[in-house]
Amino acid sequence: MYKGNYYWFAKKLLFHLHGCKEWFYGRWNAHFVGPQAEVAGHAHKKVTFLPTTCAQKNFKKNANTLVSSEKSFGIPVVCENGGVDMNPIITAHQEIVIENSVRYIELLKSEATKILDEYWETWKARNQLISQTTYANGGKFMPGRFAPVFKKVGSSQKLTIVWKDFSPRFKNKIEHHGVVVKPKLGGYSVSCFKNALDWELEMILETENKIKPIRELLAEYHQRKLADIKRLEKLKRLI
């Protein structure tokens, strides 16, 4: 009689887990990028994903196809009292949330790299043209001086995009590393580039409009990653 009851319980449990797995992965695939998940109801023995929203929808709408993961969740462990230990699922889910933030940051960096490379290519070509024409004919050499670069800031090494001034600081000497241009409270504006040439300022404003939403998303996902890491550490201490 005992074996019969145990067999019936085990069969029912496996059937329940199979259905839970299909629901679990279905929900995960639907909202794969950057979910802020909450564990709902240990008594109900299931995990619910609550997707977040962001102002920069253009970068997020195709994220499911751009970011993928081959990680799988741990199988629930049957406790001695017949219950299901959700700790492996919760921990594995939290680790995947962190991995997705890291992958999304890399995705944003890749998109920003294309924009920065395009700016640098045009900017250097224009400076070279000035050098070969105006300066070569005896005119004053007045090249463009501002360009965007990646930079890691703070103890947590947050990735961001800043503008640098690459104009010479000393006579006949070029500072290749440049000086970071400080943005205003509302971000980079025309007043931040007072010495920019007309053609350069036009390029700066056009490029800044492209990289500003990426910069904001980089900051958002960096903070999200740090919060998720702390949450995971707390979960591991409780297990």
Cα–Cα distance measured from residue 181 to residue 178, given in angstroms and rounded to the nearest whole number: 9
Co-location of 75 and 176 in the same domain: no
Looking at the fold, whether 12 and 93 belong to one and the same domain comes out as yes
Residue 136 carries which DSSP code? T
Residues 74 and 157 in one domain: no
49 and 7 both lie in a single domain = yes
Instruction: Write the pLDDT tens digit of every residue in 169-194.
Output: 655 555 567 899 999 999 999 999 99
* Cβ proximity of 20 and 93 under 8 Å: no
Residue labelled with tokens 């995960």: 28
pLDDT of residue 110: 98
Q: How far apart are CA 150 and CA 214, in angstroms?
A: 12
What average pLDDT does the segment 156-174 reach? 82
Same domain, 78 and 132: no
For the segment 41-75, what is each residue's pLDDT rounded down to a tens digit? 433 333 333 344 444 566 655 444 444 443 434 44
pLDDT for 89: 84
Instruction: Please report, rounded to a whole number, the percentage of residues in the chain having pLDDT higher than 90.
Output: 47
Tell whether 86 and 171 lie within a shared domain.
no
Q: Which of 15-19, 86-90, 93-97, 161-165 has the highest mean pLDDT?
A: 161-165
Statement to judge: residues 126 and 214 lie in one domain: yes
Number of structural domains found in the chain: 2
- Higher model confidence: residue 123 or residue 79? 123
The domain of 157 spans 107-221
- Determine the Cα–Cα distance for residues 29 and 70; give it in Å rounded to an integer: 11
Helical ranges in the chain per DSSP H: 2-30, 57-60, 63-66, 87-130, 198-238
Per-residue pLDDT band for 140 (boundaries 50, 70, 90) equals: confident
Identify whether residues 98 and 112 lie together within a single domain. Answer: no
For Cα atoms 180, 153, 104, give the angle at the middle one, nearest 5 degrees: 115
User: What does the pLDDT look like over 197-226, one tens digit per residue?
Assistant: 999 999 999 999 999 999 999 999 999 999
List, for residues 99-112, the tens digit of each pLDDT value: 999 999 999 999 99
228 neighbors 97 (Cβ within 8 angstroms): yes
Same domain as 35, residue 121 = no
Residues 114 and 212 in one domain: yes
Residue 90 · residue 76 · CB < 8 Å: no
Average pLDDT, the chain: 74
What does the pLDDT average to over 28-44? 38
Same domain, 21 and 91: yes
* 116 and 88 within one domain: no
